[in-house]
Amino acid sequence: MIQIDRTLISSEVFEKKFVCDLAACKGACCVEGESGAPLEEEELEKLEQVYDDVVPFMRQEGVDAIEEQGLFVLDWDGDYTTPLVDGAECAYVNFDENGVAKCAIDTAYRAGKISWQKPISCHLYPIRITKLKDFDALNYHHWPICAPACDCGDKLDVRVFRFLREPLIRKYGEEWYKDLEAAFDHWSA
């Protein structure tokens, strides 16, 4: 583990290579899994604020799921997550003309309708954050559906933390990311 400020970063964030290959996986991370996307407590209010502007970018099945379950749910671990449609895809997912899962929240953001991009857990994937007493632990999440992203990352020689530069800066700031780059240089030396 590498420590920067109040974060503990798994060495796999430096070791693994990863670049999403949506043409290959079709956004399976938005469809597969046992629960919805993890949400931080401050994101619950953001969902409430942006929901009306996100609805036009959603499928009716997602709107129906949210009307039934709410904008977010508590999973069996007591964590807030996005609701699911029939126990499958995230309620906030839509599909493009090629069948690729896209986030309706992110689509509304890119269309200039809202100023919040999407839940940070989605933006940071395949890094998962575990909140510890005094630290955030950043770990690489292994999931077979992301094999095409690992292959693409290997081919392009892009490490996880570099692929996730934008969301890591969004979460921890520019200075933290510079420290992460310096830690990588030290780690790889």
Local mean pLDDT, 10-residue blocks, the chain (189 residues) = 95 97 91 90 96 97 97 92 94 94 96 96 95 95 94 97 98 98 94
* Per-residue CA distances from 102 to 26, 76, 136, 169, 187 (Å): 9, 26, 27, 22, 35
Q: Could you tell me which of 102, 111, 109, 69 has the C-alpha nearest to residue 86?
A: 69
DSSP category for residue 11:
T
pTM of the model: 0.92
Beta bridge partners of 80: 74
Question: How confident is the model at residue 78, as a pLDDT?
Answer: 87
In whole angstroms, give the CA distance from residue 145 to residue 129: 19
Beta bridge partners of 103: 93
Question: How confident is the model at residue 77, as a pLDDT?
Answer: 85
Question: How confident is the model at residue 34, as a pLDDT?
Answer: 82
Give the three-state DSSP class for 119: coil
Question: How confident is the model at residue 176, as a pLDDT?
Answer: 98
